[in-house]
């Protein structure tokens, strides 16, 4: 059985792994193949991060203006699928985290949802890791004007502060759970747009 400090250490290491993975995956040109089936908290956090990595670059491609509309349509379909996996990943992170926390927390605390669950915060940390990497790239451009480099340097410092603050907030939320003021509960997002049985634009126009 893990204690609370061990769980917090797992999270802290996973946050650092998000940052390192962004650099490694860019060097390789892609995240590891075969994302899926993560059965530990660090693996689930990295898997969810991989969906965000892919989503980031497809969304960049979807904003091109020099390609045919068919390319953008294909990007949109890919984005829908990746975004579904990204959201599934958030819930996987919450399930694995809460299973580690369950034996460590007071059993009689009230179930309460913050404005976001830890899994949702992990998703934001993933996106912030991507933003930090890409903003840092902007500060190193040799073809950019000095004012662009300076503005990006300020944004980079802000993004790093925001990420550090959010990391701290996640760990403090675990302390709140341990104190018994609230008990974690999974927030199911119940995404409808990819389900042909729930999206009226899909089932309403299906071929008879």
In a domain, 142, yes or no: yes
Structure confidence at residue 37 (pLDDT): 55
In a domain, 208, yes or no: no
Structure confidence at residue 31 (pLDDT): 75
**Rounded mean pLDDT of 41-51?**
94
Whole-prediction pTM value?
Answer: 0.88
9-to-3, 42, 88, 97, 165 alpha-carbon distances in Å: 10, 11, 24, 12, 16
Distance CA 191, CA 80 (A): 11
Structure confidence at residue 71 (pLDDT): 83
Confidence of residue 109 (pLDDT cuts 50, 70, 90): confident
Domain ranges, residue 110? 4-203
Highest mean pLDDT among 56-60, 67-71, 165-169 belongs to 165-169
pLDDT tens digits, one per residue of 156-176: 999 999 999 999 999 999 999
Structure confidence at residue 153 (pLDDT): 97
Distance CA 38, CA 27 (A): 23
Q: Give yes or no for residue 97 having a pLDDT over 90.
A: yes
Distance CA 189, CA 92 (A): 12
Q: State the total domains in the chain.
A: 1
Tokens of 144: 């950019």
In a domain, 27, yes or no: yes
């Amino acid at each position: 059985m893990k204690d609370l400090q061990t769980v917090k250490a797992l999270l802290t290491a996973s946050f650092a792994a998000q940052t390192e993975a962004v650099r490694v995956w860019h060097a390789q040109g892609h995240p590891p193949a075969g994302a899926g089936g993560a059965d530990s908290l660090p693996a689930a956090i990295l898997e969810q991060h991989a969906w965000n990595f892919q989503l980031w670059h497809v969304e960049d491609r979807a904003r091109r203006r020099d390609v045919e509309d068919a390319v953008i349509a294909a990007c949109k379909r890919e984005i829908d699928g990746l975004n579904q996996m990204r959201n599934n990943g958030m819930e996987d992170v919450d399930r694995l985290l809460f299973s580690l926390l369950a034996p460590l927390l007071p059993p009689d605390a009230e179930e309460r949802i913050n404005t976001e669950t830890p899994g949702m915060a992990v998703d934001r940390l993933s996106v912030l890791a991507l933003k930090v990497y890409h903003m840092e790239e902007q500060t190193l451009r040799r073809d950019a004007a000095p004012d662009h480099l300076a503005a990006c340097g300020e944004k980079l410092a802000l993004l790093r502060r925001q990420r550090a603050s959010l990391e701290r907030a996640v760990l403090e939320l675990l302390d709140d759970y341990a104190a018994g003021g609230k008990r974690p509960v999974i927030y199911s997002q119940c995404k409808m747009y990819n389900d042909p049985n729930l999206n009226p634009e899909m089932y309403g126009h299906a071929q008879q």
